[in-house]
Structure 1
Amino acid sequence: MPMERQRALTSHRRPTAGRTPRRRSVRSLVSAVCVAAATALTCATVPSAAAQPAAPEPSAGHRATPDARRALLPPTGPVTSGPGITTFPLAVVASVPHPDAPPPGADDWHCRPTPRHPRPVILIHGTYENAFDNWNYLSPVLKRHGYCVFTPNLGAPPGEIFKATRHIPFSARQLARYVERVRAATGARQVDLVGHSQGGGALPRWYINWEGGADPRNPARNKVRRLIALSPGNHGTTFLGPGLLVKELGVMRATRPITGRAIEEVTQGDRFNYELDRLGDTRPGVEYTNIVTRLDEVVTPYDHQYLKAGPGAKVNNFTIQDICPADLAEHGAISYDPVAFQLILNALDPATAHRPDCELVLPLLGAPVDIPVR
């Protein structure tokens, strides 16, 4: 990559003093509508960010000894348990008072992977989402199945409700540091990534491709074993068509101080996507699973979410409706869809795979009845 192109793609600007109030005014409006209901829902059950301390950050590539790992751990903090919230809109509301809190079952920095599940699972939220609202349903499911679960908040300062809005390579570097923290704390050599939208496509793939997640010359040194994606932002989106016109007219660039840079980068035709894909969709030694819905109204066309396997990689592309025709999950509901959860568990542990049990799954709301996840 020419040096000037690399600098252009990987540089980022700090928000200026003039930009911050405009962005916060949007958040304040949403918060004013939601906060009363959210407080009633969550004050008794959601830990604050202060109550859930982050693990200290080791240097890149650090492999800690057992004694060093103990020194890296934070003081014991509460890790919430329970079934979690089972619909995305309620989880969004519940995240307002505590936008940096982990979902139930996540961020236990004393968790140790088992021989059955030797790799920690890192859940990566999507654009305008956060760890709490994106993973409130899935995180406790994975925890009950014996996985060590971690959920970073990326691409926004602490206190922001809507995250993953910044320059995607910036968020990918945050993810790179977070993976090192998880590896150091758990002693695991590799991790599995599960993501939604940007968090399943552009962000983790940039980390794998350009920020040390994979080593094409020696795949045995890869830090990522699997990337499992729900409605991933691969190859750019048209936003049902009008998104291309909005970008062409310069509206996205003009509104970047409010909407964030990432929304422009995930649009089809942006040079970010060219750089992300120019060496192919995959890297050797990484197994990719994409779980998509034909009803996706955000990442369009939906079949652009599929990946094509390159040398030494494996790709599984699933379309929800091919497995369960009555599943009406769209872009938001897919991260609250038990059918998708079963496919995630199958990808994490193929030896114990089960065909999902199919029931009606509704747009936005998910499943109205509890679908077994085995």
Structure 2
Amino acid sequence: MRAMLVLLALAWFCEGCAMTAASLAVSPRLAPVEQRAPVLLVHGIGDDASAFDALRGRLEQEGWPHVHAISLVPNNGSEGIPALARQVAREAEALRARTGARRVDVVGFSMGALVSRYWVQLLGGRLVVRRFISISGPHAGTGLAFLGRGKGVTQMRPGSRLLRALQQDPRPWGATEVHSFWTPWDLTILPASSSRLPGASERRFPVLLHPWMLTDRRVHDAVVDVLGSPAVAR
């Protein structure tokens, strides 16, 4: 029985690899550099801007001229999600001012994905965000939040008032194109399916640990694919 479970897990893993490869194989070629929006990267709890070093380097290697990672303060979950979202809003406005861009793209990881979502939905971010990629965000909460303290941690508990307010928004995204990347193997977002985001295009990755989603090449390929795709008229 144990051997059979191992074989089934390997088969699922390989199937996931094939699905990811197939989704990337049919992607359109990247848009010219001048058509790519500036990118703002928003990290998770306990991290800072350096968490995105690998992804930022990949985007710069692919020709993105403007990639900026924010360091949220504080980063330990003691501050509430709305206050952190206001930091993201200020960074986005500063990025737009520096580059002269009308809209920006946003990639949020873990708690940073939830912070970015709050900004997009409830603080006017959808007016200036072209594409939003959530990577392993606790959009329906995570059971691990019951083990921690702090305003932000409490707001990441399943069924929290903040999560209910986000879920009840009838038109959350406006013209913003939204994508959800997640792994069914996640042991930080519990259950892992909490990373699914209503109304988002979805991609699953067979990545074994939550933090590895920021360093996995397949995830990087998908970020490049989404952010570099030619804009679709809306």
Q: Taking structure 1 as the reference length, what is the TM-score of the superposition?
A: 0.50
Give the distance between the partners of 2:121 and 2:69, measured in 1 at CA: 21
Shift of 1:308: 2.1
Q: Partner residue of 1:149?
A: 67
Question: What residue identity is the alignment partner of 1:149?
Answer: V
**Residue 226 (structure 2) pairs with residue 347 (structure 1):** yes
Please list the CA deviations of residues 190-230 of structure 1 after superposition, one character each: whole Å capped at 9, or x if unmatched.
00001110112x2011101121212xxxxxxx200111121
**2:34 partner SS:** coil
Tell me the residue number matched to 1:295. 185
Q: Which runs of 5 or more structure 1 residues have no equivalent in the other structure? A: 1-112, 157-161, 215-221, 247-251, 310-314, 322-327, 352-374
Do residues 317 (structure 1) and 202 (structure 2) align?
yes
Shift in CA distance, 293/191, structure 1 to aligned 2, threshold 3 Å: same
Shift of 1:237: 1.2
Corresponding residue SS for 1:229: strand
The residue type equivalent to 2:99 in the other structure is: T
1:228 aligns with 2:113: no
Offset at residue 304 of structure 1 (A): 2.1
Q: CA separation in 1, counterparts of 2:93 and 2:35?
A: 22
- The Cα shift of 1:165 comes to 4.0
Measure, in 2, the Cα distance between the counterparts of 1:343 and 1:281: 26
Partner residue of 2:6? none
Q: Between Structure 1 and Structure 2, whose CA radius of gyration is higher?
A: 1
- What amino acid does structure 1 have at the position aligned with 2:121? N
Q: Which residue pairs with 2:10 in the alignment?
A: none
Counterpart of 2:167 in structure 1 is: 277
Offset at residue 172 of structure 1 (A) = 0.5
Question: What is residue 151 of structure 2 aligned with on the other side?
Answer: 261
- What whole-Å deviation, never above 9, does each CA across 1:219-258 have from its counterpart, x for those lacking one? xxx200111121112121123xxx55x5xxxxx5xxx4xx
Counterpart CA distance in 2 for 1:209 and 1:334 is 24
Per-residue CA shift, 1:147-190, capped at 9, x if unaligned?
A: 1100111131xxxxx45541110001111111110001100000
Is 1:189 aligned to 2:74, yes or no?
Answer: no
Q: What residue in structure 2 maps to residue 124 of structure 1? A: 42
Alignment of 1:53-132 (within 5 A): 114-117=33-36, 119-132=37-50
Tell me the number of residue pairs that the alignment of Structure 1 and Structure 2 aligns: 199
Counterparts of 1:21-36 in structure 2 under 5 Å?
A: none
Cα pair 2:77 2:153 within 8 Å, conserved: no
TM-score normalized with structure 2 length: 0.79
Distance in 1, Cα, partners of 2:103 & 2:198: 23
Distance 2:194 2:171 in 1: 12
Asked if the contact 1:154–1:164 (Cα under 8 Å) also holds between the matched residues in 2, the reply is no
Cα RMSD (Å) of the superposition?
Answer: 2.0
Select the structure with the greater relative contact order (CA < 8 A; seq sep ≥ 6). Answer: 2
Letter in structure 2 aligned against 1:234: H
- For residues 123 and 306 of structure 1, what CA distance do their matches in structure 2 show? 19
Instruction: Give the C-alpha shift of residue 146 in structure 1.
Output: 1.5
Match of 2:84? 171
Describe the shift of the 1:131–1:293 C-alpha distance in structure 2 as closer, same or farther (beyond 3 A). Answer: same
| Shift in CA distance, 140/350, structure 1 to aligned 2, threshold 3 Å | same
Cα displacement string for residues 53-112 of structure 1 (whole angstroms, at most 9, x for unaligned residues): xxxxxxxxxxxxxxxxxxxxxxxxxxxxxxxxxxxxxxxxxxxxxxxxxxxxxxxxxxxx
| Equivalent position of 2:54 in the other structure | 137
Match of 2:123 in 1: 211
What 5-or-longer segments of structure 2 have no aligned partner?
1-31
Change (3 A) 1:268 1:129: same
CA distance 1:337–1:165, shift in 2 (3 Å): farther
